[in-house]
Amino acid sequence: MSEQDPLRIEHRPNGVTVLTFDHPDRRNPMTRRLTEQWQRAVRSLREAPGLRAVVVTGTGSAFCSGADLEELADRHGQGLPGTRAQLSAFYRTWLSIHDLAVPTVAAVNGHAVGAGLALALACDLRYAAEEAKLGAPFVQLGLHPGMATTALLSEAVGLPCARELLLTGRLVSGAQAAAMGMVHEALPADQVLAAALDVADRMAAAAPLAVRLTKSGLSQGQLTVEQALTWEALAQPVTTTTDDFREGVQARREHRPPHFTGA
């Protein structure tokens, strides 16, 4: 990987992979090059048998500043059908992180704006720098929100709050984002990645199949009690047949940390 590559990939020994946007002088925009690297990276993660969690973060003052506005403006003369097709592919490429089988964590080290915020919201868990700016100011640029922001932001903060943020384009600090539920916790900037890695390590140490099935159940959205019982009556019996379940019970009896293998 060359120094110019805007995406750094680190595979840690415990099954946690860290994806780092590394174009700090431009606040880590979603350029064509970064989008191509992201697509390849997520595709490879889907096929990684030992993967247990993914952390996404950035370098410099920003997590991700969203779509490259110059590249977006270049599409102006392409006509509606071509622009629609390109943007749809762009959205789906970046939101592919949402469909990974393992838990994902956004370490929002700095500003997360527009599609950059949508990317953070597409992750299962989010931790942000207290002074970071987060928001979706699409309307202030003459744009309708994209990349499923209307759905993802509503899920995180509720529809009334999402309305206010999207219709005004207002930015909030990391601390404000935590207060409204957009992120799980706001911390000093130099502690954000460590906090995200701690959480990822904790999930990576849990039983892999149980974690994946739990994420799958949660991805179905707000279920009724009956719907949840139907899913759990399918998923929990599967986990009771695993070696990891027996290891978990034995470790509890012996008052020691369990060692899960995914079997």
Specify the 3-state DSSP secondary structure of 131: coil
Residue among 163, 164, 93, 175 at smallest CA distance from 134: 175
DSSP assignment string, 186-233 = EE-GGGHHHHHHHHHHHHHTS-HHHHHHHHHHHTT-S--HHHHHHHHH
What is the per-residue pLDDT across 129-146, written as a single tens digit (0 to 9) for each?
A: 999 999 999 999 999 999
Residue among 86, 94, 85, 87 at smallest CA distance from 36: 94
Instruction: Identify the pLDDT of residue 1.
Output: 41
Specify the 3-state DSSP secondary structure of 117: helix
What is the per-residue pLDDT across 106-122, written as a single tens digit (0 to 9) for each?
A: 999 999 999 999 999 99
Window from 10-14, 115-119, 176-180, 219-223 with minimum mean pLDDT:
219-223
pTM: 0.93
Higher confidence at residue 78 or residue 173? Answer: 173
Maximal C-alpha separation, the chain: 68
| Residue 190 CB coordination number (10 Å) | 9
36 has a pLDDT exceeding 90: yes
Distance CA 146, CA 167 (A): 13
Q: Are 125 and 174 in contact (CB under 8 A)?
A: no
Instruction: Identify the pLDDT of residue 142.
Output: 93
Q: Are 67 and 26 in contact (CB under 8 A)?
A: no
What is the per-residue pLDDT across 183-233, written as a single tens digit (0 to 9) for each?
A: 999 999 999 999 999 999 999 999 999 999 999 999 988 889 999 999 999
CA 156 to chain centre: 12
* Six-digit token string for 93: 């490429």
* Six-digit token string for 24: 């700090």
Instruction: Identify the pLDDT of residue 68.
Output: 84
